[in-house]
Amino acid sequence: MNFHFKKYVSVISGALLLASLPITSWALDNNYGVRTINKDITASQLEHKAIDGYNFIFSAAFVTKGAWGYDNPNNFTKLITILEKAQKEKELTSEGANLLAALLKLKPKILANPNDALTMTGINSVNQLGTSYAQTRKNLLLSHKTFDNNIDVLFAYDGSNISLKTGEQFVLGLIKSFTNDKIQIEYIQDEQPDVLAYYESREFRDWVNSYPDTHRLLGKIKYSSQQKSNQIKNYVDNVNQRIFKKKFLNSVNGNSLIIDSSRVEPRDIVDYIFEIYKFLPSINIQEANDFNTVLDDIMRNEERRQFSAIDNANLFTTVGPSVTGQIQTTEQGRRLFNDLHITLQDFLETNDEPVKLYFIDPRALLSFLTLLEGSKLGNTLGPNEDYSYTADTFKVGDLAPLNSILIFDFYKNRDNKILVKINHNGKILTLKDTCQSLENTAYNWEDLAKCLTN
């Protein structure tokens, strides 16, 4: 049994007023990379299917953070300052003027959403996900109801405030499934940064330093900051040319533009714009769609796709399949799996809480998926291969968007044999070929544990 500081929090059904927003259409070009928001998942997509001769005994869900506020508001205001300076000097193109007008309109909403809190879009998406998860696991939860209508649920998070708030909103969504049952859910809040928090491990840094071709590897990891691609440079130049006239553009390209005592480089301006593009769906999908109509004249869809590919490439190397022969990117995933293994063992011994909820960073989930699926997420790179930035095999927005969920449902028969089914964002997950599944897309838990820990 693992011991951590735990906080007991009660939520009573029928006593909730949850925020609600009208559903708006999603942007057509979903190239938001690490800021992609998962589309709503229905209860039917997360439904667990019975297995003949087995009882459904336990469920664990790994949920990534919901959409939160703007990461770098200083970058947003700096971009406005740059555009206003160009406007004052009459050096904005008509497209640049339209961009400035759009940003000034967005400014109150951007600054009203801090980076340490969920946005209303994030709150509603997490609520809905919690409800969808609980609807088909309601009987499992009710089977552990006490005489005073209390149900205990394990609740672990990675130590960040966003993960905590995500968890709280998920549970509020979960309780909506019990509005007619007059029950109380008590979730046992367990902060586990040592197990759940994403960070670059010492082992990963050691591996980077000992890699036979360190320069090549670092080029893969730090591609976006090194800016060595002529194609990316051309994209940056093209975007800036659509915003600024010649005189101001020369000061940008000549690295002589100083804003707030810091030098602004050509790539900075494009990064600031792309940052807004990625973030806006976190506030409101319709706002993002409206902004994209302005952005289409400045940053083409092909260019946005290329910048998203850089996000994909960096994460491919640090938490994805990466380079042939190395396992460091799966270390985070192994920590998560080991905690799940211990949690299930505790449950089998005590038959207490039937559900454990984990709230984690999307990068931690990517590492876990890499452990589970291996090269199915994308071909590993040989020593002399470079990552293809146009490849679609490893797309963070598809694999681990915000508000993702990875579910392990456990079943036991009379002989105490344990099977597990795994659902990832509404789809049954099939693992790497070295982990053999049984019929019904279930896995023998003992065999799976050996496969993933060897």
For residues 26 and 37, give the distance between their C-alpha atoms in angstroms, rounded to a whole number: 10
- Whether residues 88 and 34 share a domain: the answer is no
Out of 285, 316, 347, pick the residue that ends a domain.
316
Task: State the pLDDT at residue 207.
Answer: 58
Q: 92 and 246 in contact (C-beta within 8 Å)?
A: no
Burial of 423 (0-12, 13-18, 19+ CB in 10 A): buried
Residue scoring higher pLDDT (254 or 228): 254
SS (H, E, C) 33-64: HHHCECCCCCCHHHCCCCCCCCEEEEEEEEEE
State the alpha helices, DSSP H only, in 116-196: 120-135, 138-142, 161-175, 193-196
Residue 411 has pLDDT above 50, yes or no: yes
- Whether residues 252 and 392 share a domain: the answer is no
- Whether residues 353 and 393 share a domain: the answer is yes
State the alpha helices, DSSP H only, in 176-229: 193-196, 202-210, 214-221, 223-226
What distance, in Å, lies between the first and last C-alpha atoms of the chain? Answer: 22
Residue 32 has pLDDT above 80, yes or no: no
By DSSP bridging, strand 55-64 and strand 405-412 are: antiparallel
Residue 110 has pLDDT above 80, yes or no: yes
- Whether residues 136 and 194 share a domain: the answer is yes
- For the record, the structure tokens of 211 come out as 């890699």
Task: State the pLDDT at residue 10.
Answer: 63
CA–CA distances in Å: residue 104 to residues 100, 101, 107, 243, 291: 6, 5, 5, 16, 12
Task: State the pLDDT at residue 226.
Answer: 42
- Whether residues 84 and 178 share a domain: the answer is no
Radius of gyration for the alpha carbons in the chain, expressed in angstroms and rounded: 24
Whether 214 is covered by a domain: the verdict is: no
- Predicted confidence (pLDDT) per residue in 220-241, tens digit: 444 433 444 567 788 889 999 9
Mean pLDDT value across residues 303-318: 78
Q: 143 and 58 in contact (C-beta within 8 Å)?
A: no
**Average pLDDT taken over every residue of the chain:** 82
The domain that holds 39 is classified in CATH as 3.40.50.1240
- For the record, the structure tokens of 132 come out as 């969808």
Residue scoring higher pLDDT (73 or 215): 73
- Whether residues 42 and 104 share a domain: the answer is no
Write out the H or E segment, with its range, that includes residue 388.
none
By DSSP bridging, strand 184-191 and strand 150-157 are: parallel
Least confident residue range of 89-93, 100-104, 277-281, 313-317: 313-317
Using 50, 70 and 90 to split pLDDT, how confident is the model at 392?
low
Domains identified in the chain, total number: 2
- For the record, the structure tokens of 438 come out as 């049984």
- Whether residues 190 and 262 share a domain: the answer is no
Mean pLDDT value across residues 332-347: 94
Q: 363 and 404 in contact (C-beta within 8 Å)?
A: no
- Whether residues 337 and 434 share a domain: the answer is yes
Whether 164 is covered by a domain: the verdict is: yes
Max mean pLDDT among 182-191, 268-277, 338-347 falls in 338-347
Residue 212 has pLDDT above 70, yes or no: no
Whether 375 is covered by a domain: the verdict is: yes
Least Cα distance to 454 among 343, 366, 374, 358 occurs for: 374
Task: State the pLDDT at residue 84.
Answer: 96
For residues 121 and 250, give the distance between their C-alpha atoms in angstroms, rounded to a whole number: 40
- Whether residues 65 and 174 share a domain: the answer is yes
Instruction: Provide the domain limits for residue 84.
Output: 73-112+229-316
pTM of the model: 0.88
Task: State the pLDDT at residue 24.
Answer: 40
Mean pLDDT value across residues 116-137: 93
